[in-house]
Structure 1
Amino acid sequence: MRKHTIPATLFALGGIGLAAGSAHAQSSVTLYGIVDAGFAYTSNQGGKSNYQATAGNEQGSRWGLFGREDLGGGLHALFRLENGFNLMNGAASANGRMFGRQAWVGLASDRYGTLTLGRQYNAAQDSLEPLQVAADTVQYGTHPFDVDDLNNTFRTDNAVKYVTPKFYGVQVNAMYALSGNAGNFAMNRSYSVGASYGNGPLRLGAAYVVLDRPATDTTGAVPSDNYFTFLKGISRQRIMGAGGLYDIGNASLGLMYTNTRFELTPSSQYQTWQNAEGSLRYRLSPALHAAIGETYTTVSTNGKVGAWHYWQTTAGLQYFLSKTTDVYADLMYQRASNAAAQIEGASGPSSSHTQMIAVTGVRHKF
């Protein structure tokens, strides 16, 4: 994203607060954003085909402010406030939150790493999300029902996150999010740890995420108005996964595996969702990029693998008109066994075992 940096003193003179110019000589606030919209065709939605104006296909539309102040000695103060919205109707995303995508403040040390507090991403989103095929296509290419949260179904409130500096290409992130419940700190809390590696043609990521009693209130780590609706009575959710990309010339080969377990009440049952993804990205030219991915999803109950499966193929093309603007065309096809097909991000399930979505649009970054 092209970023527009505004000296902090201009904000002060605008009424935010007047301070001596020398105190803010090394301070800045950056305004940035993405606008993304297009059209989608769904082959079967409740038994009928559908044509829709859609927003946030490649990336959710957003605008944000990123602030940085140099405190000296390699220490910096940081903050980020990021709003998400639906470009088609102007409504705020994340159930109407002003800064529903991110809202945090913290300190960063060149030597010791970064500590931040607020509404943030968990380790799966930080370490795995950039490696999935949907990172180079559209949100519909993410895994069924977003059980591994790689399509950002939920973000984490009350979070304290630490990220290490990079050491020989390795960076580790760890987060703990408080419940705020007196006498029951495990009620609606979350914790996660992840690692990323990047060196030459190889990129790797791994993550482990736990949610205890998620969505039991609106004030804990995972508020009830910002969580899954397809499955009820979740007492614990555990996500673990690993993935990687390897560049060979103009091609990138990708593999990813995620395992999500939902413990349910009051039946004391649990469901395990496993996603295995293989992908290929290819740069046909500096301006034209192609990607294709295949995901196989299995669902088991109480450790017994049932006949509930999903196969999904995702394919897409991106043409970059400039460094900040691209147009795209993507096709997703899903086939389900003993279940109705429903591609992640679709407005509704199919009335059969298959569903196809074709989407095209334009994205601009500023």
Structure 2
Amino acid sequence: MKAKKSLVALAVLGTLSGASYAQSSVTLYGIVDAGLLYTSNVKTAEGGKALLQLASGNLNGSRWGLLGSEDLGGGLKAIFRLENGFNVNNGTLGQGNRLFGRQAYVGLASNTYGTFTMGRQYNALQDYVATLQLVSALTQFSTHPYDNDDLNNTYRTDNTVKYATPKLAGFQAEALYGFSNSTNFANNRAYSLGANYSNGSFNLGAGYARSQSPGAIGGAIVGNPSSATPSNPLLDAARVDQWGVAGTYVLGSLTLGLLYSGSLYTNSTFTLAAPRGTIHFQNYEGSVRYQVSPTLMLVLGETYTTVHQSGESGHYLQTSAGADYYLSKRTDLYLNAFYQKASSNLQANIDGAGGAASGSSQAVVVAGIRHKF
């Protein structure tokens, strides 16, 4: 009883202290997600082999974070976010062994003038288009091949300043710039622009991002495949341009989604359709989400991706389907399946599922549990 009274006294003192200064808050949050993952036809030295593994971060990457704000008066707040990614299977850090690899920023937010932040952040495509794609309702394995448009956050952008307007009549826009932090100012810098419009059942987002020489280590993008923290090998290019537009419409229990995105990897050394040369992707996606009941959601999506490199071309066609059952507001069970068929000159590769296929087809099934706190 004495210990309980002491805790109450401390809470009262904390309240009084907060009244003496500007009001502030810090929220601890997170997601723990793990499941069993089956991948067919994984390429090995002996040919195609099936792979069964315990996988972390299927529906959402496992994470914990701190989100804070301080009321400075007049509608102005100081804000920060520190978000860590980790592998629940072995406890290791994610995002290239970074302590706060998912997000890390500090800034000011105004109800009148918008929000300005600095740090490691998402670009406009990830903020406004990725939230409307199929991956937002299914696991990461519904990502477009090689996450070529970066909508599944294969990389974030370092050394950034970002400004987002206040939301006016459902409209919001943002701009981001990532410094190279080098005397060669243009080497490994990045920028993006985007906008979102939401009105009742309708939500539309669009964005564009560019990174210059992303393979240089230490700048806005860590993209050198031979570095200590490798990312998407496509980034070993002279320049990367990515763009996209997506929309969803809620019709009762149904949510319909459409998305188009593209990417251009100029002078890439990565071999895909040809030994080397500029790679151009285009992704077309349609999805249906059906809320069967308050505790059960079903999702079905189809993605068609074309790729062109040095006069050679090919395509990928992927079907994604899944069910999500909520045991409570914070805990759910999921079962998802994926099948990808590539043209005969390409290897199927369901992104993040265990490796490229030994041929032009690959299937994935994943079942797991997700808990949010």
TM-score, with normalisation over the residues of structure 1? Answer: 0.91
Give me the whole-angstrom Cα distance separating, in 2, the residues matched to 1:149 and 1:227.
Answer: 15
Q: Which runs of 5 or more residues in structure 2 are unaligned?
A: 1-9, 270-274
- Secondary structure of the structure 1 residue equivalent to 2:293: coil
Worse-matched range after superposition: 137-146 or 256-265: 256-265
CA RMSD of aligned residues (A): 2.0
Give me the whole-angstrom Cα distance separating, in 2, the residues matched to 1:26 and 1:35.
Answer: 30
Q: Deviations over 1:217-273 (max 9, x none)?
A: 1x2101245564433740100001101001111111111000100001689941110
Change (3 A) 1:251 1:21: closer
1:335 to 330, 335, 341: 341
Give me the whole-angstrom Cα distance separating, in 2, the residues matched to 1:51 and 1:24.
Answer: 55
Counterpart of 1:300 in structure 2 is 308
In the alignment, is the contact (CA less than 8 A) between 1:204 and 1:244 conserved in 2?
A: yes
CA deviation after TM superposition for structure 1 residue 282, in Å = 0.6
Counterpart of 2:102 in structure 1 is 101
Aligned: 1:29 with 2:26: yes
- Secondary structure of the structure 2 residue equivalent to 1:130: helix
Change (3 A) 1:133 1:365: same
In the alignment, is the contact (CA less than 8 A) between 1:154 and 1:227 conserved in 2?
A: no
Aligned: 1:271 with 2:279: yes
Change (3 A) 1:360 1:112: same
1:291 to 292, 299, 303: 299
Give me the whole-angstrom Cα distance separating, in 2, the residues matched to 1:268 and 1:137.
Answer: 33
Q: Deviations over 1:163-217 (max 9, x none)?
A: 11111111101100111111x2110000000111111111100000000010311
Give me the whole-angstrom Cα distance separating, in 1, the residues matched to 2:236 and 2:54.
Answer: 34
Q: Which amino acid aligns with 2:307?
A: V
Q: Which amino acid aligns with 1:104?
A: Y
Q: Which amino acid aligns with 1:320?
A: Y
Worse-matched range after superposition: 33-42 or 261-270: 261-270
Counterpart of 2:221 in structure 1 is 222
Counterpart of 1:325 in structure 2 is 331
In the alignment, is the contact (CA less than 8 A) between 1:37 and 1:362 conserved in 2?
A: yes
Trace 1:1-366 onto structure 2 (pairs within 5 A): 21-46=18-43, 47-182=48-183, 184-217=184-217, 219-224=218-223, 228-231=231-234, 233-264=236-267, 269-302=277-310, 304=311, 306-337=312-343, 338-366=345-373
Q: Deviations over 1:93-122 (max 9, x none)?
A: 011100000000000001010000000001
- Secondary structure of the structure 2 residue equivalent to 1:186: coil
Give me the whole-angstrom Cα distance separating, in 2, the residues matched to 1:301 and 1:94.
Answer: 29
CA deviation after TM superposition for structure 1 residue 134, in Å = 1.2
TM-score, with normalisation over the residues of structure 2? Answer: 0.89
- Secondary structure of the structure 1 residue equivalent to 2:95: helix
Count matched residues. Answer: 348
Give me the whole-angstrom Cα distance separating, in 2, the residues matched to 1:54 and 1:281.
Answer: 24
- Secondary structure of the structure 2 residue equivalent to 1:94: coil
What percentage of aligned pairs have identical amino acids?
52
Give me the whole-angstrom Cα distance separating, in 1, the residues matched to 2:268 and 2:195.
Answer: 32
Give me the whole-angstrom Cα distance separating, in 1, the residues matched to 2:276 and 2:308.
Answer: 14
Give me the whole-angstrom Cα distance separating, in 2, the residues matched to 1:231 and 1:84.
Answer: 23
Give me the whole-angstrom Cα distance separating, in 2, the residues matched to 1:60 and 1:220.
Answer: 24
CA deviation after TM superposition for structure 1 residue 20, in Å = 5.9
Q: Which amino acid aligns with 2:330?
A: T
Counterpart of 1:3 in structure 2 is none
Q: Which amino acid aligns with 1:360?
A: A
Q: Which amino acid aligns with 2:71?
A: D
Give me the whole-angstrom Cα distance separating, in 1, the residues matched to 2:276 and 2:140.
Answer: 33
Change (3 A) 1:264 1:307: closer
Q: Which amino acid aligns with 2:249?
A: Y
In the alignment, is the contact (CA less than 8 A) between 1:191 and 1:209 conserved in 2?
A: yes
Q: Which amino acid aligns with 1:215?
A: G
- Would you identify which runs of 4 or more consecutive aligned residues in structure 1 move more than 3 Å? 19-25, 224-233, 265-269
Change (3 A) 1:193 1:228: same
In the alignment, is the contact (CA less than 8 A) between 1:153 and 1:227 conserved in 2?
A: no
Q: Deviations over 1:326-348 (max 9, x none)?
A: 10000000001111111011211
Q: Deviations over 1:9-54 (max 9, x none)?
A: x89x99xxxx964454511111000000010111211211111101
Give me the whole-angstrom Cα distance separating, in 2, the residues matched to 1:69 and 1:31.
Answer: 15
In the alignment, is the contact (CA less than 8 A) between 1:125 and 1:149 conserved in 2?
A: yes
Give me the whole-angstrom Cα distance separating, in 1, the residues matched to 2:287 and 2:236.
Answer: 34
Give me the whole-angstrom Cα distance separating, in 1, the residues matched to 2:364 and 2:236.
Answer: 30
Give me the whole-angstrom Cα distance separating, in 2, the residues matched to 1:262 and 1:23.
Answer: 54
Worse-matched range after superposition: 114-123 or 340-349: 340-349
Q: Which amino acid aligns with 2:63?
A: R
Q: Which runs of 5 or more residues in structure 1 are unaligned?
A: 1-9
Change (3 A) 1:115 1:276: same
Give me the whole-angstrom Cα distance separating, in 2, the residues matched to 1:96 and 1:162.
Answer: 28
